[in-house]
Chain A
Amino acid sequence: MNRHRILGLSALVVIAIGLYFGSQAPLDQLQGEYTRIMYVHVPSAWLAYLSFLVTLVASILWLTKRRLVFDRVAESSVSIGVFFTALALMTGMIWGYPVWGTFWDWGDARMMTTALMFFVYVGYLALRRSIPDPAMRATRSAVLGIVAFFLVPLSYLSVLIVRTLHQGITVARPDSPIDGEILLALLSNVGAFTVVYLTFMSLKTAIARGEEELEEQSAAVDATPAGAAITAPNLEKVRDV
C-alpha cells in the first residue's frame, strides 16, 4: 500500500470518529443543531492558518536553499489553504444566517479579515499562473508567500483589535470554560481535518512533481533550440502571392 492510500484511509477513519463525536456533543440551547456546524467551521479555519504557515516556512526555505521541493510544498499548501478558507467562510455564513439572521455580519471582524486573507492567496495562485519560468515563479511567489502571511495573525487576532458589536466566535475563546464533550468533538475534528490536510498535501505535491517531470521530459524531446525553429522564408512564393 502506498503513502497516499494509507493517508487517505486513515483520513476516512478519523473523519468518521470526528463525525461521531460531533453528533454526540451536547447542543447549545439557543443555536440548537446549528452548533454542529462549528465542528467543520473551526477545524477549517485552523487548517487555513496552518496551510499558510507551511507556505511561509516553505517560501523562506526556497529562497535560502533553492530546492524546488519547497516551492512545490508552498504552492500545494496555498491551494489547500484557499480551499479550507473558503470552507470556513461558507460554513460561517451558513451558521450566521439562522443564528444572526444574516449571511454576512459586518460586526464579525474575523470574517472580514478572513475574506481578505482569502483574496490575497487567490492572488498568489493568480501570480503563479502568470509566470512561465519555474525559478522566477518560485522566487516571486515565495516573496508573496511571506508578505501575505501578515494577514494570518491579523485575522486570528482581529477580534481583539477591531471594535465589534459581536464578540467574534465564542467557542474558541480561551477564557471561556468549554464543555468537555464539546471540546472533545472540536479537537477530534481538528485532528481529523489535519490528517485530511496531510493527505491532500501528499497528493498535491506528488501531482506537482509529476507535472514538473512531464515538463522536463517534453523539454528534452523538444530539444530544438529557440532559434532553430525558424526556417528560411519562401522568397519565390512571397514574390508571386
Chain B
Amino acid sequence: MTGPSFWGQAYEIGRKDMRVEGRSGEVLNITIPFGAVALLLIPLAIGIDRPLIASVGPGMFWVVTLLFGMLVTFRHSATETVANREMMVLLGMDPAAQFVGRVSASFLLLLVFEGVLAPLTIVLYNPDPVSGWPVLLVVLLLMAIGLALIGTLASGITSGLRSRNTLAPLLVAPLSLPLLVGASQTYEALSQESSILTPILLLVAVVLGLAVVGVLTARFLEEASR
C-alpha cells in the first residue's frame, strides 16, 4: 500500500500539529500571554517617556516576536518522542515532508502570535503612523515563515539533547538576525519614505534559502536523531 504524496504527508503532519495545539493550547494560553507580559515590562524598564516609548515600540515588537515567538516553534507538543519519530519512519514518511508540515503549523501559530501582539503593541506604545503600512503585513508574514523555518531547523539540530532547552534559543536568536534586520529596516525605510526594496529582498532571500536548506537537510537530521 503506498501512502500519500509529499504534499499529502506534509498536510497530515501540519493538521496533526494544529490539532494537538488546539487541545494543549500552549501557544494561546502560555506563549502569547508571555509575549504580552514582555511588551508591558519594557516601558516600565525604560521609564515613562512617551515619545521614547512610541519610537521604540516597533523595534520592541520585532524583538518580542523573535525571542518569544521562537518558543512557538519549540512548543512541547511539536517535539516528537523517539517512539513517534520511529513510527513515522516506518510508515514511510519523507523527512522533508515532515519538515514542511511542521514549519507550516508553526507558521500558522506564529501568525496568530503576531496577530495578537501587533495590535497590542500599537495600543500600548502608540507608535507614529507610517505611510505604506500594508507593506508591514507582508513583513509579518515573511517574519513568521522565517522564524518557523529557523526554529524548526534548530529543534531538529538539538532534538533529544540534554542541553536543548538552552542550546536551541542560543542558536535561533543570532540566526534570526537577517529577519530582524529585514523587518526593522523595512519599518525605518517606510518612516523615512525611502526604498524598501533591499530589506524586503533580504527577507525573501533568507526565507527561500532557509526553506531549501531545511528541505535538503531534513533526511540527514532525521537519521541523526536516532
Contacts and interface: CB of A to CB of B under 8 A. Distances in A.
A143 B167 contact: no
Given A120-B174, A130-B162, A161-B202, A144 B185 contact: no
B170 A147 contact: no
A116 interface: yes
A154 B178 contact: yes
Interface string B179-201: 00100010011001000001100
Contacts of B175: 120, 147-148, 150-151
Contacts of A135: 224
Contact of B198 (A126, A139, A150, A161): A161
A151 B157 contact: no
Interface residues of B, number: 34
Contact of B157 (A117, A140, A150, A160): A140
Contacts of A136: 224-225
B7 to A, nearest CB: 23
Chain B at the A interface: SS class: helix
A162 interface: yes
A122 B206 CA distance: 21
Interface string A56-77: 0000000100000000000000
Interface stretch (B73-81, B109-117, B119-127, B215-223): B215-223
Interface in B30-66: none
A100 B224 CA distance: 48
Interface string A126-163: 11001100011001101110111011001000101111
A116 B173 CA distance: 9
Contact of B171 (A117, A131, A142, A144): A144
A119 B209 contact: no
Contacts of B158: 127, 130, 140
Contact of A143 (B157, B163, B188, B189): B157
B136 interface: no
Contacts of B209: 150
A154 B217 contact: no
B217 A146 contact: yes
B161 interface: yes
B135 interface: no
B118 interface: no
Contacts of B173: 119
A56 to B, nearest CB: 11
A210 interface: no
B57 to A, nearest CB: 18
B153 interface: yes
B210 interface: yes
Interface of A: 63, 113, 116-117, 119-120, 122-123, 126-127, 130-131, 135-136, 139-140, 142-144, 146-148, 150-151, 154, 158, 160-163
Top 7 A-B pairs, shortest CB-CB distance: A139-B224, A116-B174, A119-B174, A120-B174, A143-B217, A136-B224, A130-B163
Given A126-B170, A142-B220, 11 more contacts: A63-B217, A123-B174, A130-B163, A143-B221, A146-B213, A147-B213, A150-B206, A154-B177, A158-B181, A160-B198, A161-B202
25 contacts: A63-B220, A113-B181, A119-B170, A120-B171, A122-B170, A127-B171, A130-B162, A135-B224, A139-B220, A139-B223, A140-B158, A140-B224, A143-B153, A143-B213, A146-B213, A147-B150, A147-B153, A151-B178, A154-B181, A160-B198, A161-B181, A161-B185, A162-B181, A163-B189, A163-B192
